[in-house]
Amino acid sequence: MKFIVPQQDFAKALLLAGKSLMPRANLPILSNLLVNATKNKVEIVSTNLETATKIVIPGRVEVEGKVTLAGKTLGEFVAQLPQEQEITFEKLGEEVQVLTKGYKARLATIAAEEFPAIPVISGGHKIKIGAADFARAATRVAFAAAQDEGRPILTGVLCEFSGGGLAVVATDGYRLSFDEIKVLEAPKETIKIVVPARAIAEVAKTLFEMGEEIKEKAVDIVIAEGLNQMSFKIDDLEFTSRLIEGEFPNWQKVIPTSFVSRARVNKEEFTRIVRIASIFARDSGSILRLKFASGDAGAKKQTVNVSAGSGQVGSGDAQMEVEMVGPGGEIAFNYRYLLEALGVIEEEDVNFEMVESLNPGRLTGAGGSEKFFHIIMPVRLQT
């Protein structure tokens, strides 16, 4: 086995292929990349048994073959080599030699036959979606999925394809994110699947790493007929993931049918005062108290006061002006949930809507027509 590739192409491919690596895996083979050289192309694959990443790059293949070797070590070594150089990759006995002018490394290998089989989704439901739209929606939603494996279905993102659109929802039981975007091509029938949040977030991160190119790209999605696997493909990069089985909870029931108060706040300033107050919330269950008020009748000043405190540390509060409709009121949240939601809203101003202190609050971007919203469950206020 022997091939020659440009350093920049190889380094980029190894970085992308490493998305599904498990550096500290119980099975050593899961820390390895499968490198397969055939004709004039080199295929690099990684898997963690839940997801798999495959990328294909052109190369001058002198001897065909395939082998697995430590992905992290190979990636780090190639990334540090001089750019504009060509790299020779050659299997010598039980080792692989990676060589360029002035630099050489020899890496141990494991037989390619021990590498797990990667599912091939040849048929199924085919969908095409704008890469930028998909990456933005996935980023806005996936963070709200549960980290705890106690309820596996909540560690995923519900994706519902219907009527030429894609609705994505994630919730951990304490918060919920929703977004809806158009698709370029999709089957006529409605399709509902639950994708692991880690997988969909990794795809979004990879797309954003493409920079400005993302605006011109589309993602080709294939969902297996059995609704147990799916793949995302963009150019020569393919990402495959298993799907989560089970019934996603009825998320609509947690959303109030109407809100009685709405405050428009500057996102940057609101984020700042939440961060300041959160300093005093760390020893009190991470709880912040928000009080929306219209001020005295003469000044007509509308404000939000954000406060937190604990007996051991002390207390702090911050205040800013808002544009408010409705009576306002008090409500309390986990400050981490609030900051994470603000972090994915792109607009300069944010709308915060509420009913009463024990009803969920809703955050949306102000001034836009987008479908995104984020729901946060409140914490009971202590008098």
Q: How far is CA 140 from CA 33, 82, 118, 180, 222, in A?
A: 31, 37, 29, 11, 22
* Amino acid in the structure at residue 1: M
* Amino acid in the structure at residue 293: A
| Tens digit of each residue's pLDDT, the chain (383 residues) | 999 999 999 999 999 998 888 877 788 899 999 999 999 999 999 999 999 999 999 999 999 999 999 999 999 999 999 998 999 999 999 999 999 999 999 999 999 999 999 888 878 899 999 999 999 999 999 999 999 888 999 999 999 999 889 999 999 999 999 999 999 998 889 999 999 999 999 999 988 888 788 888 999 999 998 889 999 999 999 999 999 999 999 999 989 999 999 999 999 999 999 999 999 988 888 999 999 987 654 446 799 999 998 777 888 999 999 999 999 999 999 999 999 999 999 999 999 999 999 999 999 999 766 799 999 999 987 75
Residue ranges, comma separated, of all CATH 3.10.150.10 domains in the chain are 2-114, 125-251, 255-376
Q: What is the predicted pLDDT for the residue at 19?
A: 84
144 DSSP 8-state letter: T
Q: Which of 266, 331, 255 is nearest to 293 (CA)?
A: 331
Strand duo 373-376 + 175-182: pairing: antiparallel
Q: What is the predicted pLDDT for the residue at 216?
A: 87
Q: What is the predicted pLDDT for the residue at 117?
A: 92
Q: What is the predicted pLDDT for the residue at 369?
A: 61
- Virtual CA dihedral for 357, 359, 360, 364, nearest 10 degrees? -80
- The answer to whether the beta carbons of residues 50 and 196 sit under 8 Å apart is yes
CATH class of residue range 125-251: alpha beta
* Amino acid in the structure at residue 214: I
Residue carrying the six token digits 């599912």: 119
Architecture of domain 2-114: Roll (3.10)
- The answer to whether the beta carbons of residues 383 and 287 sit under 8 Å apart is no
Q: What is the predicted pLDDT for the residue at 368?
A: 67
CATH class of residue range 255-376: alpha beta
